[in-house]
Amino acid sequence: MGSTALAATGSMAPAFAQTAPATPAVQPEVAAPAETIQSITVIGTQRLEGDTVRSYIRLRTGQPWTQVAGDQALKDLYATELFADVAVRNNAGAVVIEVRENPVVNRIILDKIEPEIKLAPRQIYSRSKVRADVARIVELYKRQGRFAAVVEPKLVQLDQNRVDIVFEITEGPKSKVQQINIIGNEKFSDGQLRGEMVTKQARFYRFFSSGTSYDPDRLAFDQQKLRQFYLTQGYADFRVVSAVAELTPDKQDFIITYVVEEGDRYKFGDVKVESQIRDFDSDRLTTTLRMKKGDWYDAKMVEDTVEGLSETAGLFGYAFADVNPDFRRDKDTLTMGITFNVAESPRVFVERININGNTLTQDKVVRREFRLNEGDAFNSIQVKRTAERIKSLGYFQEDLEVEQEQGSGPDRIILSTNVEEKATGELSLSAGFSSIENFIFQGAIKQRNFRGLGQELRTNISYSSYSKSAEIGFTEPYLFDRSIAISGDIFRRDLNSFNFFNNQRNTTYEQATTGLQVRVGVPVNEYVYFQARYGLSQDDISLDENTFFSDPDGLGPLLPSCDPIIAGRFLCDALGKRLTSSIGYTLLYDDRDNRIRPTRGQSFGISQDFAGLGGDVKYVKTRINADKYWKPFGNFVFGLSFEGGYIHALEDRGLASQGIDDVRLTDRFYLGEPQMRGFDIRGIGPRVQRVFFESQVVNGVVVNTPLTDRNQIQDDAIGGRFYYLGRAELQIPLGSGARELGLRPSMFVDVGSVFDVTRPILQTVPQREVQSNGTQGAPLYYFVDTAGTLQTSTTATNADGSARVAALRFEERFFGDSWKPRLSVGFGVNWNSPFGPFRIDIARALLKQEGDDTKLFTFNVGTQF
């Protein structure tokens, strides 16, 4: 009997050499009968069992041996990608299969990246897997715009039939779009059409844009963008003939060329609505259509009309109403007639509400925001409102939608929302710096979805050299699962008010406030909310006795009193302990699409607080606020807001003749940072400045010259009874690259004022002689001695009887009590940085009044968990 051998071998080095199986050496015996396979033996295995190898082939004992069967065994074994070499031999029916196993991957070494590759440690190595991984890595680099990237795999042989795989990657430069050419456009310029594309030409000022890199998918998307643009301009026959991207000769960048056919421009022809739904009057709906016969054709308007008719049908409960526009193009008259066909459909009811994806948040927290219940008639407006309310919770993704699915019957619908929970805890660290406040630190922890019940637990601590506060609060938005919100806060605030003199910040009065507030709120309807509150607080206002107290009556240190010359009458009046007991309410209308980051809608609120329900303070304080948001164009969001307030004393303290207002210093309104950017803390409004003097001899005459350097003027803000504040802000959308970085810039204008306070009695204080016991004596006067030197004396006249010039210590001046607006403009950036939300504002005051204190730069930073 003869023998037959089939073999295929492959070499391990070089790593990527492709070796075809050797041609089987078959020596058939002419006219010999077919041999029967007596046995199948496997040799050469290291990790695999012989039975495992035999299971991969179709040869079985007792079968006749043929060359075709031997060839198929070779193919089957190589197809497993487990073997580097395979040989099949037949010796008179004894079949021997000799194999050499592929090595095991020990580790994979990448120079610069770790993409999702097929091969992994402890897997069996094969050339096809390596080739696939090389292609995947190259594709990943192409997606990043690096078309010159080269990936070279290398094999490092180890003992025990193991290998290390090394991918050496040469990234090459990032391929940019050097130029975009457009051929065939006559009605619109190249620049206008490039502006419609996502892909942009690489220019130095587009360093934040990711659209300058070449991406084939983006090229296809830009063709669609061009078609959409032309269709909105009436060019219904527009088409992109070709779009070609070519590498530059240096293979660094791309040049993209579009060839377009604009075609003719169409106008709307006859436009009407044909409705098969009995609740819809076709003629009446036709009159509401935005497009009119003779207007330029606009495909976007057609699309919006279809969506609008579908929403209108949904409002009447027809969730699955089918609206199909039937186009009638007339190339002779260049008109496009359209009939919007509203097909008949049954009125739909909500069969079931599904909430998916919530792991922390309980179902009831989401379900109670639904404006529809199971069994209710479907209403598309209520579905849209439901999505807005769920997004306003701030617990889930911003692109959340309420999906509509066919129910068990044609008149049944299932509403489903697939939520993706995000961090609802906030750890906020804020820092600021100014020439007046110096360094400020604030830390706050807030959990807006405590225990997954929608409850809010918060605590806040702030600290600076001149203020300290601590606060803890809790809110239950649905008490006993009813639409009743209850919340409360306990707080302690220590404030050191200040003025600024000679480059030094000086503490004036110290205010320690301890108190609590309880609030209860209920919705009046979908958009109107009412809240009532009660507050109780104890204020303790004091001055440094060593600085501001004196003993003018000489009665000793046991009876010191506040010295109005040193402290000012307004500060002396504020001293003491006072208990404030107040009740108040807020009535709010709010239809904004998102309370956290609105893009459309408006709100209006009015609130009042009445102090005098017991306690020592009596007043009524009224505030109003309003805002409106909309998208003027594209994804730009424009917001307008206004707020104002007035406080009226309910008691006559009888101190107006002394320049003391009936509203206490600590109850008045103040304005500045952070409410109004461009001005410092309490930098706007009524204030008393103490101007000091420099005396000198000019031509033999003594002259008192006031110091004008702001650093040498003592400044005290005293607040007002009225205030108003308006803001206009434009949020600017950025490219996808900047959005991925979390950048959200904006430009803003702030305008406002605080005013109306009883004019204080101002003092002009002379220098006085210091007596031996340290008390102040008679006022001093200047005179010039015979040597021409400036001297002081308690004598008011010269030897010739002429009056001497008083030696002035300071003069008080009153500024800022004006309704006239202060105006600032600036820009700011929100950045969701790796270490938390970061906000920076740069604002410049354009309108201000004498005495106002401006500030250019502010920032704060926080994080979330």
- Nearest CA-CA partner of 723 in 752, 749, 680: 752
* Structural tokens at position 591: 């239809």
C-alpha separations of 492 from 461, 495, 540 in Å: 10, 10, 11
Q: What share of the chain is helix, strand, coil (3-state, %, to 5)?
A: 15, 45, 40
Decide which of 573 and 513 is more confident: 513
Report d(CA 767, CA 808) in Å as an integer: 5
pLDDT above 70: residue 127: yes
Phi and psi for 242 in degrees, rounded to 5? -160, 155
Q: What is the percent of the chain with per-residue pLDDT over 90, rounded to a whole number?
A: 27
More confident residue, 700 or 680: 680
**What type of residue is 542?**
S
Three-class SS state of 13: coil
- For residues 499 and 495, give the distance between their C-alpha atoms in angstroms, rounded to a whole number: 13
- The arithmetic mean of pLDDT across residues 713-725, rounded, is 90
pLDDT tens, position by position, 516-532? 999 999 999 888 999 99
Task: Give tens-digit pLDDT for 63-73.
Answer: 888 888 888 88
C-alpha distance from residue 580 to each of 126, 606, 651 (Å): 81, 21, 14
Amino acid at 695: S
Q: In 3D, which of 811, 812, 803, 754 has the Cα closest to residue 781? A: 803
Cα(42)–Cα(774) distance, integer angstroms: 114
Tell me the CA distances in angstroms from 132 to 119, 135, 157, 231, 829, one per residue in order. Answer: 9, 5, 21, 42, 43
User: 9 versus 272: which is more confidently predicted?
Assistant: 272
User: ∠ at Cα 362 (358, 365), nearest 5°?
Assistant: 105
Beta-bridge partner residues of 860: 839
pLDDT above 80 (res 112): no
237 by DSSP, 3-state: which? coil
Helix 299-315 / helix 216-232 crossing angle, nearest 10 deg: 80
The one-letter code for the residue type at 627 is D
Structure tokens at 483: 């639409």
Helix (H, G, I), strand (E, B) or coil at 354: strand
d(CA 226, CA 238): 9
pLDDT of residue 646: 97
Over residues 535-554, mean pLDDT: 74
| Count of other CB atoms within 10 angstroms of residue 208 | 12
Residue 853 has pLDDT above 50, yes or no: yes
Predicted confidence (pLDDT) at residue 138 exceeds the cutoff of 90 = no
Gap between the Cα atoms of 666 and 571, Å rounded: 10
User: Considering only CA atoms, which of 135, 110, 107, 47 is closest in space to residue 83?
Assistant: 47
**pLDDT score at 9:** 44
Residue type, 793: S
- Average pLDDT for 40-48: 87
Coil, strand or helix: which one is 740?
Answer: helix
What mean pLDDT value characterizes the chain?
Answer: 83
pLDDT band with cut points at 50, 70 and 90 for residue 440: low
Residue 155 confidence (pLDDT) = 84
Please classify residue 126 by burial: count the beta carbons closer than 10 Å to its beta carbon, then call 0-12 exposed, 13-18 middle and 19+ buried: buried
pLDDT range class, residue 213, cuts 50, 70, 90: confident
Which band of pLDDT confidence, cut at 50, 70 and 90, is reported for residue 20? Answer: very low
pLDDT-based confidence at 786, cuts 50/70/90?
Answer: confident
Q: Which two tokens stand for residue 424?
A: 């609802």
Q: Checking DSSP bridges between strand 836-847 and strand 857-864, what pairing results, if any?
A: antiparallel
Helix (H, G, I), strand (E, B) or coil at 431: strand
- Bridge partners, residue 340, by sequence: 273, 325
Convert the pLDDT of each residue in 460-481 to its tens digit.
887 776 678 899 999 999 898 8
Q: State the pairing for strand pair 601-615/485-501.
A: unpaired
Please give the radius of gyration of the chain, using alpha carbons only, rounded to the nearest integer: 42
Over residues 681-708, the mean pLDDT reads 83
Give the pair of three-digit tokens for residue 846. Answer: 């354009």
Q: How many CB atoms lie within 10 A of CB 611?
A: 25
Which is nearest to 258 in space by CA: 246, 274, 247, 267? 246
Provide the β-strand partners of residue 705.
694
**Among the listed residues 517, 539, 757, the one whose alpha carbon sits nearest the alpha carbon of residue 646:** 757
Q: What is the pTM of this model?
A: 0.61
Question: What is residue 409's DSSP assignment?
Answer: S
- Burial class (CB within 10 angstroms; exposed 0-12, middle 13-18, buried 19+) of 313: buried
CB 355 within 8 A of CB 417: yes
* Strand 83-91 with 3-8, pairing: antiparallel
Edge-to-edge strand list for the sheet holding 162-170 = 104-110, 162-170, 150-158
- Tens digit of each residue's pLDDT (9 = 90 or more) over 347-400: 889 989 998 888 888 888 889 889 888 888 888 888 888 888 888 888 888 778
**Choice between 522 and 168, residue whose per-residue pLDDT is larger:** 522
The pLDDT value given to residue 647: 96
Q: b or e along 722-740 (b: 16 or more beta carbons within 10 Å of the residue's beta carbon)?
A: bbbbbbebebbebbebbee
To the nearest 10 degrees (0 to 180), the angle between helices 299-315 and 380-392 is 100
- Kindly list the strands in the beta sheet with 805-806, ordered across the sheet, starting from the edge strand earlier in the chain: 790-793, 781-784, 805-806
Percent of the chain at pLDDT above 70? 87
Residue 278's pLDDT is: 79
Helix (H/G/I), strand (E/B), else coil: 138 = helix
49 three-state secondary structure: coil
- Annotate 498-510 with DSSP letters as a single string: EEEETTEEEEEEE
CB 763 within 8 A of CB 753: no
Would you tell me how many other CB atoms lie within 10 Å of the CB of residue 372? Answer: 19
Of the listed ranges 58-67, 134-143, 612-621, 768-777, the one predicted with least confidence: 768-777
Which of 821, 827, 822 minimizes the C-alpha distance to 858? 827
Distance CA 240, CA 219 (A): 12
- Tokens encoding 858: 């502010």
Instruction: Give me the pLDDT at residue 821, please.
Output: 95
- What CA–CA distance (Å, rounded) separates 542 from 614? 23
- Indicate if the pLDDT at residue 727 is higher than 90: yes
Q: Quick check: helix, strand or coil at residue 187?
A: coil
**Rounded Cα gap, residues 468 and 510, in angstroms:** 11
Residues in the chain: 865
Which residue stretches of 400-551 are H helix? 545-548
The answer on pLDDT for 14 being more than 50 is no
Which residue in 832, 829, 833, 836 sits closest to 859, CA to CA? 829
Residue linked to tokens 């506060």: 469
C-alpha to C-alpha distance for 358 and 360, rounded to whole angstroms: 6
**Strand locations in 73-186 (E):** 83-91, 94-101, 104-110, 150-158, 162-170, 177-183
Query: What is the CB-side half-sphere exposure of residue 180 using CA atoms within 13 A?
Result: 25
Secondary structure string (H, E, C) spanning 358-381: CCCCCHHHHHCCCCCCCCCECCHH
Highest averaged pLDDT of the listed ranges 129-138, 312-321, 835-844? 129-138
Instruction: Summarize pLDDT for 795-815 with one digit per residue, the tens.
Output: 888 877 888 888 888 888 899
The predicted pLDDT at position 24 comes to 47
Other C-beta atoms lying within 10 Å of the C-beta of residue 770:
11
